[in-house]
Amino acid sequence: MLWLVLYLPRLPLEVFPSLPSPSAIISRERIVVADQAAASAGVMPGLRLAEAWAFLPTLAVQERDIEREQAALTRLACWAGGFTSEICCLPPRTLLLEVAASLRLFGGAAVLFERVVAGCAEQGFVAQAALAPTPLAAQWLALA
């Protein structure tokens, strides 16, 4: 078995494509994720909203929408069905794909890996991805 994990670290932000920059997603008055402009100004996950505005008064914020994230993850899982039939959603930000049976069809692990990551990018998602012989190892590698 060979597992490909797609971890979507910016998913809470990416489900709101029209947010102005700099922007951040909040939950219970804390930053969940910030775009590049906000992050470079010091706005980091876990920061209180008041502190974030002290760093960056022009920061636009949006309340996190878990349902929207889940819908995006489900759509991405359906799309990933073009690469394998063995797909598992691990909310809130991870997809797990068993790809061993797909290697020959797609020309090997490297080609399959690149196509999946590029496909995520084409759909507007930044993915940290990893391949490993076990699901847990692939998850750890994707988070590294």
Per-residue confidence of the chain (144 residues) as pLDDT tens digits? 999 999 999 999 999 999 999 999 999 999 999 999 999 999 999 999 999 999 999 999 999 999 999 999 999 999 999 999 999 999 999 999 999 999 999 999 999 999 999 999 999 999 999 999 999 999 999 999
Q: Give the pairing type, strands 3-7 and 87-90.
A: unpaired
The pLDDT of residue 28 is 97
Task: Kindly list the domain boundaries of the chain, sorted by start residue.
Answer: 3-11+66-143, 18-63
According to the model, what pLDDT value does residue 80 have?
A: 98
Identify the CATH number of the domain defined by range 18-63: 3.40.1170.60
The predicted pLDDT at position 11 comes to 98
What is the pLDDT at residue 18?
94
Tell me, letter by letter, the H, E, C secondary structure of the chain: CCEEEEECCCHHHHCCCCCCCCEEEEECCEEEEECHHHHHCCCCCCCEHHHHHHHCCCCEEEECCHHHHHHHHHHHHHHHCCCCCCEEEECCCEEEEECHHHHHHHCCHHHHHHHHHHHHHHCCCCCEEEEECCHHHHHHHHHC
The reported pLDDT for the residue numbered 93 is 97
What is the pLDDT, as a whole number, of residue 2?
97
pLDDT for the residue numbered 3: 98
The CATH class for the domain spanning 3-11+66-143 reads alpha beta
The two domains 3-11+66-143 and 18-63 share their CATH topology (first three levels equal): no
Give the model's pLDDT for residue 38. Answer: 97
CB–CB of 44/34 below 8 Å?
yes
